[in-house]
Structure 1
Amino acid sequence: MSRQLNMDTVRQNFWKEEYLREKMLRCEWHLKYGSMVKAKQKAKAAARLPLQLPTLQPKAPLAPPSAPKTAPSEAPSPVPEAPLQSEMYPVPPATRALLYEGISHDFQGRYRYLNTRKLDMPETRYLFPVTTNFTYGWQLGEPQHSPNQSPYRQSTCPVSVKVQTF
C-alpha cells in the first residue's frame, strides 16, 4: 500500500511560512528576554557555589610587659579543674551492681537496673528539676486517698453525688 502525500504546493508553502514565522518569534523572544534569563541562570549558579569566607590573619602575640627583676618567687600551682557535675545523684552501689547480673533478655541486668531506678522518687535521683515538666508534680509525694473510698465501689469519681427522691 502506497503512502498518500497530501502535500501540494499550497500546503508546502503554508508549512514553510509557519516554520519561518515560528523561527522569527523565537529570535524576537530571545532578543527581548534572553538577557534576563541569562542573568537568572548566573544568579542561581552563584548561589550554588560554596560560600567563600575571607581568611583571618593570625594576630601577632602581644609581648608581655617586662616584670621588674626581683627575687624569683614560687610559681603558682595550677588551679584544679572542677569535675563535671552531673544532673543526677550518684547511683547507690547496690543498684549499680544490678547492671552486671544477667542480661536484659531474661529481665535482669540493664532491664532490672532501669526498673529499680524508675521506682526512685525524682527528688532522690536528681539534684534539681532538669526540665519545667519536673516542677509539675515535683515533691508531691504519694497521692492522697480520701478516707471514705471503698474498694468495692464502681465509680472512680472521688465526689459522691446525692440523689434526692421526692
Structure 2
Amino acid sequence: MSRQLNMDTLRQNFWKEEYLREKMVRCEWHRKHGSMAKAKQKAKAAAHLPLKLPTLHPTAPLSPPPAPKAVPSRATSPALEAPIQSEMYPVLPATRALLYEGISHDFQGRYRYLNTRKLDIPEMRYLFPITTNFTYGWQLGPPVKQEMVSCKTCRIESFFRKNGAFALLDPRDLAL
C-alpha cells in the first residue's frame, strides 16, 4: 500500500477517532466476554496436557530365610547379599568357556559364543518375554516341517517372460 502524502489535520483527527473507537470496542468486548474466553482457553489447555500415570513403587523383597547360627562366618559384602535380578537364565559353563578360546577374527571366541547362544530357543535364554516382539514366537515349540506337494501344473518357474521384456505375450508366460 502506498503512503498517503495528503495527510492534513482533518484526516489525522479522523484516524485518531477511529483508533480510539476500536480501542473502546475492544475494552467493552473484553469486559463482557473476557471471563468466558479465559475459561475456554483454560479448558482447551487442560485437554492438551499429557496424562500423568501413577508411579509404581517397587514391591518389598521377600525376607531371606534365616541363616544357621551355628557357624559364624566373616561378614559378606553387600553386593554379594543382594539377589541378582536378571532377565536371562545363567549361561552354561561350557558355553561361557567359548568366550575365552581364540579371537572373533578367526571365528572363535565371542563369535562362536554368540552363534552357540543363538541356537537356543528364547524360552531357554530368557525368564520371560522382554519385548512385545518376543510374544510372537514365545512357547511355540519345535518347528513343524510341512511337505511340499510336487505338482508340475501348480509350479511356476519364474515370473519373468521367457521371450524378453518387449516381446509379445506367450500363452505359456501367463499363470492362469
Name the TM tier (shorter chain). Answer: 0.3 to 0.5
TM-score (structure 2 length as normaliser)? 0.44
If the length of structure 1 is used for normalisation, what is the TM-score?
Answer: 0.46
Larger Rg: 1
